[in-house]
Amino acid sequence: MNWLSDNVNQLSLLGAAVILILTVYVAGKYIKQMKTDKATGELAEENWDGIGEYKNELPSGWAYTFLGTMVWALWYWTAGYPVDAYSQIGEYNEEVAAHSKMFESKWANADSQTLQEMGEGVYLVQCAPCHGIAGDGMGGKAADLTVWGSKDGVLDVIKNGSKGLGFPMGEMPAGLLSGEAAEKVAEYVAGGMKGDQPAEFATCAGCHGQDGKGMGGMAPDISEYGTPEFVKMVLDHGKKGFIGTMVSFKGRLSPVQEQAVGTYILSLSHGE
């Protein structure tokens, strides 16, 4: 009988019992009255083809309740809940502001495990319809995120080009490098641009800069390729790639959620 310890449940039960008893009593009273009562009283002056009507006073309980509801309605509209004192949008704004504040402070220093779990939730709702639950792009319907952030991912971009991120430098044409040169560059970029820079990177440096940082916002910063920051950049910009269009998620996800999605997508390709 755990549920009985809840005071709302107790009240509801009590209310139900009272209603039941009242119903039985009132119904019984009227049934008895119908059996024994004889019509008496003064007739009203109207007469419709021989059908008359008794002058009956309103039952006092009914009349007082009716008056009471009128007083209550006046109070409700003027003092209790005036028409212009409540706004549904206002309540919504307060709810969202309170939630965002709580959310950001609660997860401000979330560890990567927490972020990855949160990212999975966001991913399944927002990303999986196109990239698939497993992130494999569902047989070429969207970018394959299981190779993203790795050498294969860079090779994919070099082979097919990239467009639609909306940087001033514009589209990246397909097939700028091929064969061994592409392999070398891909390994270098996927490795976080550490170690010796291959000579073939000069092709990329034309737009992305010698350090890969995109020359101050002219092109994507590929030195952070394979990090949650890069995912955030794509989420903000949206994309129109060689497969299809990805819309911009700017403003749809909170900073923590974007970080979480980035962390989760990284875990898809790096098998963490």
Partner 1 sequence: MFHWLEKRPFLFSVGVFLVIAFAGLIEIVPDFAQASRPVTGKKPYTVLQIAGRQVYIKDSCNACHSQLIRPFKSETDRYGPYSVSGEYAYDRPFLWGSKRTGPDLHRVGEYRTTDWHENHMWEPTSVVPGSIMPSYKHMFHQNADLETAFAEALTVKKVFNVPYDKPGMPKVGNSKSDFEAAKKEALEEAKKITADMKNQDVKDAVNRGEIPEIVALIAYMNSLH
Which residues in this chain contact partner 1 in the complex, by CB under 8 A? 45-46, 88-89, 92, 95-96, 99, 125-126, 129-130, 132-133, 138, 141, 243-247, 249, 252
* CB closer to partner 1 out of 154 and 165: 165
- Secondary structure (H, E, C), the chain: CHHHHCHHHHHHHHHHHHHHHHHHHHHHHHHHHHHHCCCCCCECCCCECCECCECCCCCHHHHHHHHHHHHHHHHHHHHHCCCCCCCHHHHHHHHHHHHHHHHHHHCCCCCHHHHHHHHHHHHHHHHHHHHCCCCCHHHHCCCCCCCCCCHHHHHHHHHHCECCCCCCCCCECCCCCCHHHHHHHHHHHHCCCCCCCCHHHHHHHHHHCCCCCHHHHCCCCHHHCCCHHHHHHHHHHCEECCCCEECCCCCCCCHHHHHHHHHHHHHHHHCC
Q: Compare residues 130 and 193 and give the one whose CB is closer to partner 1.
A: 130
Gap between the Cα atoms of 192 and 205, Å rounded: 15
Q: Letter for the amino acid at 11?
A: L
Nearer to partner 1, 100 or 178 (CB): 100
Is the Cβ of residue 6 or residue 53 nearer to partner 1 in the bound state?
53
- Nearest distance from residue 141's CB to partner 1, in Å? 6
Closer to partner 1 at the Cβ: 132 or 191? 132
Task: Specify the residue, 131 or 208, whose C-beta has the smaller distance to partner 1.
Answer: 131
Closest approach of Cβ 265 to partner 1, in Å? 17
Is 163 buried (19+), middle (13-18) or exposed (0-12) by CB count in 10 A?
middle
Least distance in Å: CB of 129 to partner 1?
Answer: 6
Q: Smallest gap, in angstroms, from Cβ of residue 91 to partner 1?
A: 8
> Closest approach of Cβ 93 to partner 1, in Å?
9
Residue 13 CB, nearest approach to partner 1 (Å): 31
**Nearest CB to partner 1, comparing residues 215 and 256:** 256
**C-beta of 106: minimal distance to partner 1 in Å?**
15
